[in-house]
Amino acid sequence: MPIPADARADLHTHSTYSDGTCTVDELLAEARAARLDVIALTDHDTTAGWDDARAAASAHGVTVIPGIEVTAEHGRASIHILALLPDPGPETPLAHELQRARASRRDRARAMVEAIACDHPITWDQVQEQVAGEETTLGRPHIADALVAAGVVPDRGAAFASILAPGSPYYVRHYAPAPEVAVAAIRQAGGIPIAAHPASSGRGENVPEEILEAMIGAGLLAIEVDHREHGEAERTRLRQIARSHGLWTTGGSDYHGAGKPNRLGENLTSPEMLEAMVPASGGASWGAEPMRP
Domains delineated in the chain: 9-87+191-280 (3.20.20.140)
- 35-39, 78-82, 137-141, 285-289: segment of lowest average pLDDT: 285-289
Distance CA 60, CA 37 (A): 10
Mean pLDDT of 269-292: 68
pLDDT, position 85: 95
pLDDT averaged over every residue in the chain = 92
User: What pLDDT, in 10s, does the model give residues 37-93?
Assistant: 999 999 999 999 999 999 999 899 999 999 999 999 998 889 999 999 999 999 999
Of all helices (H) and strands (E), which one includes residue 185?
helix 179-188
User: What pLDDT, in 10s, does the model give residues 212-227?
Assistant: 999 999 999 999 999 9
Do 64 and 40 form a contact (C-beta atoms < 8 A)? Answer: yes
pLDDT, position 82: 98
Looking at the predicted structure, is the pLDDT value of residue 144 above 60?
Answer: yes
Looking at the predicted structure, is the pLDDT value of residue 115 above 90?
Answer: yes
Distance CA 257, CA 157 (A): 14
Kind of pairing, strands 38-41 and 9-13?
parallel
**Residue 65 forms beta bridges with which residues?**
40
Do 50 and 83 form a contact (C-beta atoms < 8 A)? Answer: no
Q: Which residues contact 140 (CB under 8 A, 6 or more apart)?
A: 109, 112, 159, 160, 164
Distance CA 31, CA 62 (A): 7
**This prediction's pTM:** 0.92
